Amino acid sequence: MLDQIESLYRQSNHGLSYIDNQAEADVYVLLHGISSGAKSWVKQFVTLKESCRLIAWDAPGYGKSAGLLTSTPTAQDYALQIKQLLDELEIRTPVTVVGHSLGAMMAAAFAKLYPEQTKKLVLVNPAQGYGGHASTDQERVYRMRPELLKRLGPAGMAKERGPRLLAQPTPLNLEVVQAVSAGLTQQGLTQASYLLAYDSIDWYLNSLSMPIPLCYGEKDSITPPEGMFDLKQKYSNLELIPLAAAGHLAYLDQPTLFNQQVFQI
């Protein structure tokens, strides 16, 4: 299945690698999580085809994307990169931004910074960040994944963490996890880990009043459902959408159900 999207890869003028089906349709920007990459959305590209324009990036420092210039990024630094990509593609109309896990923080920051270009914000198993937590917790989160990558390498990371990301660890799903893990770099993962450790999704959601669908995998052990319920208690504009038999990579585990909810297909 992965070979079906290789021809859709592009490289932006400012160094971002991304997949774009270039469909003449509503635009959806797909933002992956901290241990993932653009290829993780392969089932959406293959299934949805021309019904939506799908743009999935390798976040800065992932795959062939250039890293950020700062070593202490916030979600707004990533949001700026998304905006630059849309500007380069001459996409002026509002887009739907779909953020998974750490990508949800980036998506929320984009919606806050660029409300006029945000048609809808969709959160998927969002990471909430450790901004405001104890400094010892922040330091632990900041160091954990980069040290794991340094010790195990990308293939070892996939073997170690891959099964935990999935409720349906099928050969294809594990192959996709391996493929995205191959794109992990020390720079990209370290910068993203700083974002996770020192930023908070609250700092973006607290200024958004639009209805926000929040899809969550009922079998997710990385960002468990209880955390989603807590978010709903804080933000009444969130609409919780449970995805049965789905883990953290819910859109890979249950693509049909996910696509129905997010793309109304």
- In a 3-state reduction of DSSP, which class is residue 25? coil
Give the count of domains, the chain.
1
| 25: CB partners within 8 A, 6+ apart | 50, 51, 52, 53
Average pLDDT, the chain: 97
pLDDT value of residue 260 = 96
Cα dist. 212→72, 111, 165 in Å? Answer: 28, 11, 24
Dist. CA 265–CA 258, nearest whole Å: 10
What is the span of the domain harbouring residue 184? 2-263
pLDDT value of residue 160 = 86
How sure is the predictor about 162, in pLDDT bands with cuts at 50, 70 and 90? Answer: confident
Q: How does strand 95-100 pair with strand 118-124?
A: parallel
How many CB atoms neighbour CB 68 within 10 A?
21
Output the domain CATH number for residue 238: 3.40.50.1820
Q: Which amino acid is at 218?
A: E
Percentage of the chain beyond pLDDT 90 is 96
Query: Computed from CA positions of residues 241, 247, 250, 255, in that sequence, does the dihedral angle turn out positive or negative?
Result: negative
Give me 264's structure tokens.
Answer: 């109304």
* pTM higher than the cut 0.95: yes
- Average pLDDT, stretch 186-198? 99
- In a 3-state reduction of DSSP, which class is residue 122? strand
Percentage of the chain beyond pLDDT 70 is 100
| 27: CB partners within 8 A, 6+ apart | 52, 53, 55, 91, 93, 95, 96
pLDDT tops 80 at residue 50: yes
Dist. CA 262–CA 167, nearest whole Å: 20
pLDDT value of residue 161 = 84
The beta strand positions in the chain, using DSSP E, are 9-11, 17-20, 27-31, 53-57, 95-100, 118-124, 212-217, 238-243
Digit-coded pLDDT (tens) for 90-148: 999 999 999 999 999 999 999 999 999 999 999 999 999 999 999 999 999 999 999 99
